[in-house]
Structure 1
Amino acid sequence: MSTTENKAIVRRFYEEVFNQRNVDAIDELVHPEFLNHDPTPVASRDPESMKQFIHTITQAFPDHHHAIEDLIAEGDKVVMRCTLTGTHQGVFPGFLDMPPTGKSICQRQIHILRVRDGKVAEHRVVRDDLAMMQQLGLIPQPEMTA
């Protein structure tokens, strides 16, 4: 597949699965041998657990949205820079096991995805979890000094 086609698959994956919460699209867009290198305990490990993950993140952040800012592709890999926003309105078991704070998050993320046979086959992510924890009030933010 071309890099343009691979970028289109990744864009569809985030727009349809995450932003539109269309878990049925997972069967079409995620490879059956999907490999996720995200160390978060609740991260999906295969297409079926990804469906549960979408429900879990939506329970915790019903308005979650990945705003795609950049898609860069080479060969079978696509790098996506995005911003995740949402409002903490529910428990996120295994990650944010705490009552909802009602606070909003704005988290910068970089995802590296590998596309195989027209489907997302592998995923790596770098997220600013510290900033998210500070925004939720779980970790104090450092005071700014002049």
Structure 2
Amino acid sequence: MKAKEITLDDDLHSLVGQINCASWDEANEMSEYDYESLKRYLERSDTIFIACNEESEQGTVLLGIASSRIEMKPYRMDLWLYVDEVDVCVDQRNKGAGKLIMQTLIEIAKKEGCKQVWLGTEVDNAPANALYRSLDPDEVAEVIGYTYETDE
């Protein structure tokens, strides 16, 4: 099993195909991926996209993906990594992919000089909460989230 930071040098067409053919459930809130959107996402200097794969007799199998970005505080110029999504394929869970993805993101955050990694999940998402707690967080807080649609 290997988790890798995806760059513009990777085969994005193949990755998009793997993502769109993978088994996701409602917990993933997965949207259809397309080459152009992923390419534009990766062109930004502040984004980090991780793919976790495993080699099998059938070839490379996608286990999960994650998207995140490096942010800067408006004071002291502290950097922090905001993890937007960590998604593990339904038929690939309980293999350690989510943990490897998070460990990879934490290592990238350290390498980039981030003071902190931040992510959130739903209170009732027991598997995600178990994963994140297993990584020995410095703080666990209950957060209420709000969404505002802009009709754009």
TM-score, normalised to structure 2, is 0.32
Normalising by structure 1, report the TM-score. Answer: 0.33
More strand by share: 1
Greater RCO structure (CA 8 Å; 6+ sep): 1
